[in-house]
Amino acid sequence: MPTVPPKVHLNALSGGQLLTVLGAATRVLLDSTRTEDIVIGEELTAQAQLRHLLDRGVFGHRRGARASGVTT
Residue 48 DSSP code: H
DSSP-assigned letter for residue 61? S
Angle CA 26–30–36, to nearest 5: 70
Number of domains in the chain: 1
Q: Which of 53, 25, 54 is nearest to 39 (CA)?
A: 25
Question: Do the beta carbons of residue 24 and residue 36 sit within 8 Å?
Answer: no
Domain that holds residue 57: 13-67
- On the question of pLDDT at 72 being above 70, the answer is no
Whether 72 is covered by a domain: the verdict is no
Average predicted confidence (pLDDT) for the chain: 77
Q: What is the pLDDT of residue 6?
A: 61
Q: Per residue in 37-63, pLDDT tens?
A: 988 888 888 887 788 778 877 777 666
Which whole number is the average pLDDT over 3-8? Answer: 64
- Is 1 inside any structural domain? no
